[in-house]
Chain A
Amino acid sequence: QQQVKQSPQSLIVQKGGISIINCAYENTAFDYFPWYQQFPGKGPALLIAIRPDVSEKKEGRFTISFNKSAKQFSLHIMDSQPGDSATYFCAASPRAGAGGTSYGKLTFGQGTILTVHP
Chain B
Amino acid sequence: GAVVSQHPSWVICKSGTSVKIECRSLDFQATTMFWYRQFPKQSLMLMATSNEGSKATYEQGVEKDKFLINHASLTLSTLTVTSAHPEDSSFYICSARIGQGSFEQYFGPGTRLTVT
Contact = CB atoms under 8 A, between A and B. Distances in A.
Interface of A: 31-32, 34, 36, 41-46, 49, 89, 93, 96, 101, 104-111
B101 A43 contact: no
B43 A43 contact: no
A108 B93 CA distance: 14
11 contacts: A32-B103, A34-B105, A42-B110, A43-B6, A44-B44, A49-B103, A101-B49, A106-B44, A106-B46, A109-B43, A111-B42
Contacts of A101: 49, 57
Contacts of B32: 104
Contacts of B110: 41-43
Size range of the interface on B?
20 to 34
Interface string B36-69: 0000001111100100000001000000000000
B57 A44 contact: no
A49 B104 contact: yes
B7 interface: no
B8 to A, nearest CB: 13
A23 B60 CA distance: 24
Contacts of B101: 96
Given A45-B107, A89-B43, A110-B43, 10 more contacts: A42-B109, A49-B104, A93-B103, A96-B101, A104-B32, A104-B49, A105-B34, A106-B34, A106-B44, A106-B95
Please name the 8 residue pairs, one residue from A and one from B, whose CB atoms are nearest each other, closest first.
A43-B107, A32-B103, A43-B110, A108-B43, A43-B109, A44-B107, A108-B44, A43-B93
A96 B105 CA distance: 15
Contacts of A110: 42-43
B44 A46 contact: no
